[in-house]
């Protein structure tokens, strides 16, 4: 894979890590007005994100078997951005609806987290295993490529955690942060699609 395309693959993986952690941190702020900020709420949030990522890793690995291309990787990033839009558009009425019908805060927060955050997190989770397959064009270098990619992805997660919790929430409204991240995902995805796609050999 040409160096420019490798950099784009690492960029997508790093940004995806940032994206997931930023959403997870902001999810607590989103749920707090309806369900509070107790250990039950955070237990539900963390459970949903862990299960969603597990599903995403599994599905992403399966998808990478079928003629993987960088264009399809970019499509996953765009799909995750699209799946985040309902949080901005209908998040508040959905939370109100659940609050009025599920009176146990444990299960209400678990249902709310699943409804709003499961799909974008699962789609984001597909990115890393798919990116590993794109980079694993040399069997002897597969471990090194995977290690570097997971380093970049985890570093992105750390950046998403610190920047969102220390700065973004102080400078912007929650919906503004979401919209900004969706726009960045769209720009990265469209820029990647602008490159001539190359299919990875099976």
* Integer Rg of the chain from CA: 17
- pLDDT of 150 reads 87
More confident residue, 72 or 196: 72
106 three-class SS: helix
What structural domains does the chain harbor? 3-193 (1.20.1250.20)
**69, β-bridge pairs:** 199
Confidence of residue 92 (pLDDT cuts 50, 70, 90): very high
Confidence of residue 55 (pLDDT cuts 50, 70, 90): very high
Q: Stretch 51-65: mean pLDDT, rounded?
A: 93
Q: How far is CA 66 from CA 78, 122, 200, in A?
A: 19, 19, 10
Q: Stretch 40-59: mean pLDDT, rounded?
A: 95
- pLDDT of 186 reads 94
More confident residue, 91 or 195: 91
Average pLDDT value for the chain: 89
pTM of the model: 0.89
- pLDDT of 199 reads 54
């Amino acid at each position: 894979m040409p160096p420019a395309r490798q950099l784009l693959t690492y960029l997508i993986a790093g940004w995806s890590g940032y994206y997931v952690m930023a959403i997870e941190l902001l999810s607590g702020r989103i749920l707090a007005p309806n369900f509070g900020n107790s250990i039950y709420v955070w237990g539900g949030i963390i459970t949903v994100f862990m299960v969603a990522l597990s599903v995403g890793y599994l599905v992403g690995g399966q998808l990478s078997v079928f003629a993987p291309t960088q264009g399809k990787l970019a499509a996953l990033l765009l799909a995750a951005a699209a799946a985040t839009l309902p949080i901005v558009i209908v998040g508040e009425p959905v939370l109100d609806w659940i609050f009025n019908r599920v009176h146990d805060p444990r299960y209400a927060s678990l249902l709310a987290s699943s409804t709003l955050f499961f799909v974008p997190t699962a789609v984001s989770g597909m990115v890393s295993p798919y990116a590993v397959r794109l980079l694993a064009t040399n069997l002897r270098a597969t471990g090194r490529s995977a290690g570097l990619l997971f380093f970049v992805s985890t570093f992105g997660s750390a950046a998403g955690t610190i920047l969102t919790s220390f700065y973004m929430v102080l400078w912007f409204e929650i919906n503004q942060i979401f919209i900004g991240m969706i726009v960045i995902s769209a720009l990265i995805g469209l820029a990647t699609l602008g490159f001539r796609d190359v299919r990875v050999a099976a």
